[in-house]
Structure 1
Amino acid sequence: MKIAKWLKRIGMALLLIIILVLITGFIFEELSRSKAEKIQADGQFAEVENHKMHYLQKGIGGPTVVFETAFDPAGHLQWYHIQQDLPKNYTTFSYDRSGILWSERGANPKTGEKIAEELHTLLEKSKVPKPYILVGHSFGGMLTRFFVKKYPQDVAGVILVDSQYPSDEKYLSPELYKMVNQGLPGGFLKFANTFGAARLMFSNMFPATAQYQYQNSIMPALLYKSADATLEEQDHMKSIKTEAAAINSFGSIPLFVITAGDKTRYNSFIKDQKIKNEILTAWDKMQKDLLNLSTDSRQIIVEKSGHYINQDQPEAIEDAVNDMVKKITVQ
């Protein structure tokens, strides 16, 4: 009887502690959001279909290099350091997709076509010079297909940075396909976002160096804005992949396929050597297949880089951008 009483008391105490932790987390999150609302945006805004979208523009003159971010709550911050390093005699342009960081969500669905339309309108409103060179990382690489299909006359070149391959089921076993496409735990992340845990979980998304100090301060501060839109993109991922797979040609638009080459990049989270070998082999095949998108394509393998080449070896992307600018301005 005494044991039952003690267990009940312990249970009540644990429940009280959990409630106090949640209340503290909620208050912490609300105060953090209030503080984040005062952070000055680093770029400019334009009205796109009744909502404001944020972009960061560097340099002057043409062409304009347009960066499309991965499935990532960091938005334009993934390109921030690269834009600082690229020459200023042509324009570079990064932006936050609707609902990410400083861009308002708006009412458009998160489809590949609508994302392309919003980007095109944003480019037109910002009056950056044409033609465009599209640079897309991972999911962003897949999104470039929709832009090329809809606005081919505006696109002079495409650079895919370890891009997603929309028909990955062709190269993956059913087990591996399920593993790599399982996505983020949406319910848990929404809960964590409400009670302050998400901003702590993503506090060091970028390398802990002086070069990324700004990104590491802004991204978690504004995560409460970005989280829902990112998870919404995940909800549309399957349909976006299906539609992107049907866009299988850029014609003769010059294409660079930049591929991660570090064979140890999965070691930290995949222990099974057979699975590791399978995904490495499949990824290599998918990256080579991307070359077939254009009749004028070449592959650049970055041997010591993982998937986030823009962080591991940003100079590889910078070199490719400069090469593409030279290529299209000579033609």
Structure 2
Amino acid sequence: MAKSKNKLWLILFSAFIILCFLIGVFAENSAKKQALIDFPPVGKMIDIGGRSIHLDCRGEGNPIVVFESGLDTSGSLSWSLVHDEIAKFTRACAYDRAGMMWSDERSTSEELLGKAIAEDLNKTMTIAGEKPPYVLVGHSFGGPYITIFTKYFGSSVAGLVFVDTSHPDQVSIFKEFEEPLMNRISYVFMDFFEPMWAYAGLTRYFAKLNDGRLNNQSLKDEQVIDAYSPSSGLALTQESKAYEQTLNEAGSFRDFGNRPVFVIGAIANYEKMSDDELSEYGMSRKQLSSLIEKDLFTHKEQASWSTRSELKILYKADHYVQFEQPEIVINSVLSIVQKVRLKGT
């Protein structure tokens, strides 16, 4: 009798979980449709062959500045504080990689994701009629992406700006600062369940609970990013899984010739962090000098990839320089634009 009751409760509980999941799926589908109504694409949707990429170009002039976001879900909105300012001087284009924000997801996973992302961007710009030369601006993991683009479509690239970007060798360089095991397990856990959470509406729910707005980022931008967080989260998971593969692909190309390059390196205010905060990143206070030294090395090494490079190190700075100190990014980009123009005269 007791076993029968237990089975009944198990069946009822399972039915309840399935019902909740189906309700979540229905609510998520409705929320996705509402997101397009509340927050339609800012730029144009460019059909690159069965799927569309969102491209937001503003201003006029050459070279065209092309912004590449980092490994997050902000997409083209990563550049909200600098986009219009650059567009006052030349044409400036921000876009969303496949699956991010307004862009359609990929139907299949390519063997080399970094190369596929470069091909998407090249197709998007070509079909949209945005002709080179380009000045590529990458933030964080956008650095490897613009490096890979230059590897395959170098004739279109006249200059580059790296905004506190990832280094191709950073996994080995920073191996002594390994994150705690529980952090790594949690990342695997989250990646595994991300698709289920996205389809059931949990990703959207948690995004609203979490105040992830950056300093100087507008409330509206945060609302838009949250509205598209389920699809963007799935794309982010795909890119994260290809993390080391993408770094290796970028690391195979480290010669920008005489293209003008500007490297902005942000050294975090580690001293201000508590011991608990440091331990979350696998660091101890005794290791800070070594960490800063390695940070500096990565930025200096990136600057060595061009015979015409400039390096600016920001101490006690935030990783999102384009929000914390947008004027530095603006001036750096315009400096490269001016050098490209002078070379063309």
Q: TM-score range by the shorter chain?
A: 0.7 to 0.9
Match of 1:226 among 207, 229, 232: 232
SS of residue in 1 equivalent to 2:178: helix
> Where do 1:204-283 residues align within 5 Å?
204-207=211-214, 212-264=218-270, 269-271=277-279, 272-274=283-285, 277=288, 278-283=290-295
Identity of aligned residues (%): 25
More displaced stretch, 173-182 vs 23-32: 173-182
Q: C-alpha distance in 1, partners of 2:292/2:194?
A: 29
More displaced stretch, 308-317 vs 195-204: 195-204
Q: Is the 8 A contact 1:131 1:156 kept in 2?
A: yes
Q: Is the 8 A contact 1:67 1:134 kept in 2?
A: yes
1:41-99: CA deviation from partner (whole Å, max 9, x where unpaired): 11102121321111101101111000011111221010123112324231000101111
Shift in alpha-carbon separation, 1:250–1:176, aligned structure 2, 3 A? same
Give unpaired runs (5+ residues) of structure 2.
Answer: 1-8
Q: Which residue of 2 aligns with 1:201?
A: 206
State the TM-score, normalizing by the size of structure 1: 0.86
Q: Which residue of 2 aligns with 1:329?
A: 341
What is the CA distance between 1:176 and its match in structure 2?
A: 2.1
1:83 is matched by which residue type in structure 2? Answer: H
Q: C-alpha distance in 1, partners of 2:47/2:296?
A: 40
Q: Which residue of 1 aligns with 2:327?
A: 315
Shift in alpha-carbon separation, 1:197–1:280, aligned structure 2, 3 A? farther
1:158-209: CA deviation from partner (whole Å, max 9, x where unpaired): 0011111111244223552787988563023334323333224334332375
Q: Which residue of 1 aligns with 2:135?
A: 133
Q: C-alpha distance in 1, partners of 2:116/2:224?
A: 27
Q: C-alpha distance in 2, partners of 1:82/1:105?
A: 27
SS of residue in 1 equivalent to 2:93: strand
Match of 1:151 among 150, 153, 166: 153
1:271-303: CA deviation from partner (whole Å, max 9, x where unpaired): 453476143332222111111211111111223
Shift in alpha-carbon separation, 1:259–1:86, aligned structure 2, 3 A? same
Q: Which residue of 2 aligns with 1:293?
A: 305
Shift in alpha-carbon separation, 1:275–1:220, aligned structure 2, 3 A? farther
Q: What is the count of residue pairs matched by the alignment?
A: 328
State the TM-score, normalizing by the size of structure 2: 0.82
1:330 is matched by which residue type in structure 2? Answer: L
More displaced stretch, 195-204 vs 281-290: 195-204
1:294-315: CA deviation from partner (whole Å, max 9, x where unpaired): 1111111223421111222122
> Where do 1:13-32 residues align within 5 Å?
25-26=24-25, 28-32=27-31
Q: Which residue of 1 aligns with 2:6?
A: none
RMSD between aligned residues: 3.3
Q: C-alpha distance in 1, partners of 2:144/2:286?
A: 24
Give unpaired runs (5+ residues) of structure 1.
Answer: 1-9
Q: Is 1:284 aligned to 2:284, yes or no?
A: no
What is the CA distance between 1:259 and its match in structure 2?
A: 0.8
Shift in alpha-carbon separation, 1:130–1:16, aligned structure 2, 3 A? closer
1:98 is matched by which residue type in structure 2? Answer: A
Shift in alpha-carbon separation, 1:157–1:101, aligned structure 2, 3 A? same
1:85 is matched by which residue type in structure 2? Answer: E
Q: Is the 8 A contact 1:171 1:285 kept in 2?
A: no
Shift in alpha-carbon separation, 1:226–1:124, aligned structure 2, 3 A? same
